[in-house]
Amino acid sequence: MSTDRHRPLVSVAALATAVVILTGCGPQEADVTPDEARETLTGIIHDTAELLGTPGWEESSAPGVQTCDGGNGIKWDYLYTAPRGDVDPMADVEKIAAHWETLGMTVRVNTEHDPVVFATGGPLQGLSFDTGPAKYGIGGTSACVPGNADQIRDEEYVG
C-alpha cells in the first residue's frame, strides 16, 4: 500500500491541527456574539475559496465550537476542502496570501513541501490554506468571544 495514496488525508488533518496550534486563544472580542464569530469565520473561508475558482468545495464538518484556552469564552473552528485539480498551487498561494493581508492579517508562507499559507490576526485568530497534494484545504479559528461551549452544543443538538 502506497503512503502517497493517504497523503491528502494526512495533509488536511495536518492543516486542521496547525490551525488549532497556531491560533491558541487571545483576548476576547467582547462586542461579538458567538453567532457573529461563526459567521465571520465561515464567511471569510468561503470568500477565500471563491477567489480560487476551484470547483467542489465542501465542509469537512459543520463549524465546531470549543472553549477558549483558559476556559474563558468560546471560539469556532472550521475546515473547507476541495479537489485541487490541475492548477498552479503557487499562484493560488500568492493570491490567498495577498487577500488575507488585505484583511489585516499577518501572513507567512511555507514552501518546504506542498505550499501552505498561515495567517493570524485581523478578524480571526488564524487561518491556513493547504495546497495538497490532491486536495486544497482552508481552515481557521474564530476570535474568542463571550459564551459557553457546552450551552451552545446543547442548543445546537436540542434545537
CB 89 within 8 A of CB 127: no
pLDDT of residue 130: 97
Domain with 85 in it? 4-158
Q: Measured in whole angstroms, how far is the alpha carbon of residue 110 from the centre of its chain?
A: 16
Q: Which residue has the cell 496570501?
A: 97
Residue 28: what pLDDT?
A: 58
For the chain, report the end-to-end CA distance as a whole number of angstroms. 44
Model pTM score: 0.81
CATH number at residue 143: 3.30.2030.30
Q: Write down the H helix ranges in the chain.
A: 7-23, 34-52, 89-102, 149-158
Check residue 155 and give its pLDDT. 86
Distance CA 132, CA 21 (A): 20
Residues of the chain below pLDDT 70: 1-30, 159
- Rounded to whole angstroms, the Cα distance separating 41 from 30 reads 16
The total number of structural domains that make up the chain? 1
pLDDT given for residue 27 in this prediction: 53
Angle at 14 between CA 39 and CA 60, to 5 degrees: 40
pLDDT in tens, 41-53: 999 999 999 999 8
Secondary element (H or E) of residue 80:
strand 74-83
Q: Give residue 10's pLDDT.
A: 38
